[in-house]
């Protein structure tokens, strides 16, 4: 009888633990969609839109006027809410403006605008008409490319520049084809070119190059760990994004799949045609990366992540494919080209320093502001 009570007690504890894990996993805010409802309004943030002179819409979050203006430009496949973990702290010192790039969030979905010069010009107009003061500009990933273009084109409007793990030079033709990012853009391109599968997430699970990173040498674990459980939940979910309850958010698998939300199948606001512009390089028309970096005159802080734990000490996988946004040579080339720059390497982050290491990111912004003469 005593043994039975012990077994029942252990069983009850396991059930409670499983229920707690499921609740934590299923209620986690993977896309930071609930930021405004949960904290944004209390912190003084407001959701707004700006109409550019050419008639396009830029959606943005504006925080309280606590100091120097700070413009945040997100990376690809996410939105302005991607900065949710750092917005509370940043809003205590800065007047924060976090924008949605075209093709993302609440901003215009117009493929003719999916190029860096049009995005740059729209943001320069935004700074002229909305911010109306010299501004610290911070960009992440493709947003770092945009931030660099803004700083080069409008030096009088940018007081300091933060480039967070931007894919400089690795996105150029001839080089890009051997990067994880480009292979993922090819998945987007191929999905848009076919008409058999209408759900992009399901297509992604069968065609993503990411699956090769799950090859341990003893077999590939992508099928049992990722493709099968997430595909099953797509079938069961009635069109919503699949979440596997027994993978806690800290593991990252639900977040990885959640990134595939898109406009085309109605699961999100990201326009896959934006990624397709990276595949055919039309996004880069008129953008000379080296010349742009040479033209930047403001104090600049370059943040670069350490190699992935799956590929360390290299930034490349065993096939020679670049897994990160840029390697150490790219980062040092960026540093050499920007006259007033500082390179900080080795962040223990997969790519999103502001999300995975929020305090270190805030410290970096403050460091830039102090260097640029902000308060």
Residue 53: inside a domain? yes
pLDDT of residue 16: 53
pLDDT of residue 12: 52
Q: What percent of the chain has pLDDT over 70?
A: 92
CB 180 within 8 A of CB 209: yes
Of residues 218 and 103, which shows the higher confidence score? 103
Residue 20: inside a domain? no
In eight-state DSSP terms, residue 129 is I
The mean of the pLDDT values for the chain is 91
Q: What whole-number distance in Å separates Cα of residue 267 and Cα of residue 292?
A: 36
Residues 39 and 149 in one domain: yes
181 SS3 class: helix
Of residues 374 and 169, which shows the higher confidence score? 169
CB 1 within 8 A of CB 224: no
Residues ≥6 apart with Cβ < 8 Å to 157: 124, 127, 128, 134, 135, 150
Residues 160 and 248 in one domain: no
pLDDT at position 250 over 90: no
Residue 260: inside a domain? yes
End position of a domain, from candidates 254, 279, 304: 279
pLDDT of residue 375: 40
Identify the domain containing residue 132 by its residue range. 35-173+281-372
pLDDT at position 306 over 80: yes
Residue 283 Cα distances to 124, 179, 278, 279, angstroms: 18, 17, 6, 9
Residues 125 and 225 in one domain: no
Residue 2: inside a domain? no
CB 287 within 8 A of CB 331: no
**What total of structural domains would you count in the chain?**
2
pLDDT of 354-371, one tens digit each? Answer: 999 999 999 999 999 999
Residues 91 and 39 in one domain: yes
Q: What whole-number distance in Å separates Cα of residue 268 and Cα of residue 118?
A: 23
Residues 146 and 50 in one domain: yes
CATH number of domain containing 342? 3.40.50.1820
Residue 25: inside a domain? no
Residues 136 and 250 in one domain: no
Residues 47 and 164 in one domain: yes
Residues 136 and 44 in one domain: yes
Residues 85 and 57 in one domain: yes
pLDDT of 14-62, one tens digit each? Answer: 455 556 756 677 778 888 888 878 888 889 999 999 999 999 999 999 9
Residues 166 and 289 in one domain: yes
End position of a domain, from candidates 251, 279, 307: 279
Q: What whole-number distance in Å separates Cα of residue 62 and Cα of residue 38?
A: 16
End position of a domain, from candidates 250, 279, 308: 279
- Residue 286 region, left (φ>0) first, then alpha (ψ -120 to 50), else beta? left
pLDDT band at 92, cuts 50/70/90? Answer: very high
Residues 148 and 53 in one domain: yes
Residues 222 and 354 in one domain: no
DSSP calls for 89-125: HHTTTEEEEEEPPTTSTTS---GGG-SHHHHHHHHHH
* Global confidence as pTM: 0.93
pLDDT at position 239 over 80: no
pLDDT band at 167, cuts 50/70/90? Answer: very high
pLDDT of residue 217: 67
Residue 5: inside a domain? no
pLDDT of residue 19: 66
Q: What whole-number distance in Å separates Cα of residue 173 and Cα of residue 155?
A: 28
Residue 8: inside a domain? no
CB 303 within 8 A of CB 347: yes
45 SS3 class: coil
CB 100 within 8 A of CB 126: no
Residue 168: inside a domain? yes
């Amino acid at each position: 009888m005593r043994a039975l009570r012990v077994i029942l007690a252990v069983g009850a504890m396991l059930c409670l633990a499983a229920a707690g894990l499921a609740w934590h996993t299923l209620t986690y805010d993977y896309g930071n969609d609930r930021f405004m409802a949960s904290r944004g309004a209390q912190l003084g943030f407001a959701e707004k839109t700006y109409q550019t002179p050419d008639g396009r819409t830029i959606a943005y979050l504006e925080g309280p006027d606590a100091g120097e203006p700070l413009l945040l430009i997100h990376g690809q496949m996410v939105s302005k809410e991607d900065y949710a973990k750092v917005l509370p702290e940043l809003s205590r010192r800065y007047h924060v403006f976090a924008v949605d790039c075209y093709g993302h969030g609440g901003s215009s979905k117009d493929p003719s605008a999916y190029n860096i010069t049009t995005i740059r010009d729209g943001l320069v107009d935004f700074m002229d008409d909305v911010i109306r003061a010299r501004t610290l500009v911070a960009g992440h990933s493709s947003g770092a490319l945009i931030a660099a273009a803004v700083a080069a084109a409008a030096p009088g409007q940018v007081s300091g520049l933060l480039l967070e793990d931007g894919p400089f030079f690795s996105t150029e033709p001839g080089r890009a084809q051997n990067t994880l990012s480009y292979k993922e853009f090819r998945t987007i391109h191929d999905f848009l070119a076919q008409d058999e599968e209408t759900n992009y997430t399901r297509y992604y699970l069968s065609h993503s190059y990411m699956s090769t990173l799950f090859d341990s040498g003893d077999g590939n674990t992508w099928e049992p760990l990722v493709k099968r459980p997430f595909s099953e939940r797509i079938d069961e979910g009635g069109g919503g994004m699949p979440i596997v309850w027994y993978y806690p958010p800290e593991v990252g698998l639900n977040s990885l799949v959640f990134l595939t939300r898109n406009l085309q199948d109605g699961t999100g606001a990201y326009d896959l045609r934006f990624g397709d512009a990276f595949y055919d390089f039309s996004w880069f028309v008129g953008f000379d990366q080296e010349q742009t970096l040479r033209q930047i005159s403001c104090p600049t802080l370059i943040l670069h992540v350490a190699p992935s734990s799956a590929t360390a000490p290299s930034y490349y996988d065993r096939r020679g494919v670049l897994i990160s946004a840029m390697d150490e040579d790219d980062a040092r080339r960026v540093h050499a080209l920007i006259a007033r720059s500082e390179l900080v390497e080795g962040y223990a982050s997969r790519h999103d320093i502001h999300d995975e290491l929020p305090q270190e990111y805030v410290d970096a912004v403050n460091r830039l502001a102090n260097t640029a003469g902000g308060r």
